[in-house]
Structure 1
Amino acid sequence: MLRFDPFHDIDTVARQLLGEAAGTARAPRFMPMDLFKAGDHYVLNADLPGVDPGTIDVSVDNGTLTLRAQRTVPSEEGVQWVASERFAGTFMRQLSLGDNVEPDKISATYNNGVLSVTLPIVERAKPRRITISGASQEPKTIEASRQSSK
């Protein structure tokens, strides 16, 4: 039985234009993430479901944080795909770090498909209260006096 697929040629051309070779896994487009401040550090959570933890690389170079991971596709021999929406290949995301992050103390964990990166804030960038001396004293009033010259 021969099936006619009018979109097969269009899909082939689109794959070639997007840099995909015919028959290879689709390339990932993005790595969704959240970034928030919690107390004295920032937390970055990146979704990487199905990624082998051994392929995850977190690095800092010249003020740039780089997250890289790889997801592989199981062998495709003898398989007729009905749907293929999960991306495979290398995921990468880069972020510029400001001067207020301590690069030597960055840590990361990977749990349940989520990469969590903790970015500590440097001591000099943490908010602090400035004490004002002499605030408890009463203000002094200075009055001008007129002197007469004789």
Structure 2
Amino acid sequence: MPGMEPEDIHIELQEDGRLILHGDMRALLKDVKELLIDEWSIGAYHRELQLVQPVDGERATVTYGNGVLVVALPLSVTMRPAHLTLLAHGQARGLHQGGAGHPSAWT
């Protein structure tokens, strides 16, 4: 999800086992600079994945850094839905970490 800020990324785990990844906007500087090569497009990002095993969304961990989003979902006996958020730590190119309301293990 290159070019996104943590507040632009929304992650939702639904009761039916769908993981939804959504980003609101990208490439704010795209219109300002002349592009020689364009490897990703401007605009919203949306993906839906159907999970094959139940997971605990409330214990999920989400990290984002250098345009890469990582969602770690622990297995569970039953599906536990959650809306996951990211907390910014420093500049956009650094590490961003978040969870589903649990305190960060990093200081």
Would you call these one fold, judging by a TM-score over 0.5?
Answer: yes
Taking a change above 3 Å as real, the CA distance of residues 106 and 76 of structure 1, as seen in their structure-2 partners, is same
Question: Which 5+ residue runs of structure 2 have no aligned equivalent?
Answer: 79-107
Pick from 14, 38, 43 the counterpart of residue 61 of structure 1.
14
Aligned equivalents of 1:51, 1:84: Cα separation in 2: 19
**Residue 75 of structure 1, CA deviation:** 6.7
Q: Comparing both structures, which one devotes a greater share of its residues to helix?
A: 1
Moved over 6 A (4+): none
Higher relative contact order at CA 8 Å, sep ≥6: structure 1 or structure 2? 2
Matched, 1:116 2:70: yes
Q: What amino acid maps onto 1:93 in structure 2?
A: R
1:104 counterpart SS class: helix
Structure 1 residue identity aligned to 2:56: E
TM-score (norm 2): 0.56
Deviation at 1:82, TM superposition (A): 5.2
Of all paired residues, the percent bearing the same amino acid is 29
Structure 1 unaligned segments of length 5 or more: list them.
1-47, 125-150
Sort the Cα spacing of 1:50 and 1:95 in 2 relative to 1 into closer, same or farther, 3 A.
same
TM-score, with length taken from structure 1: 0.42
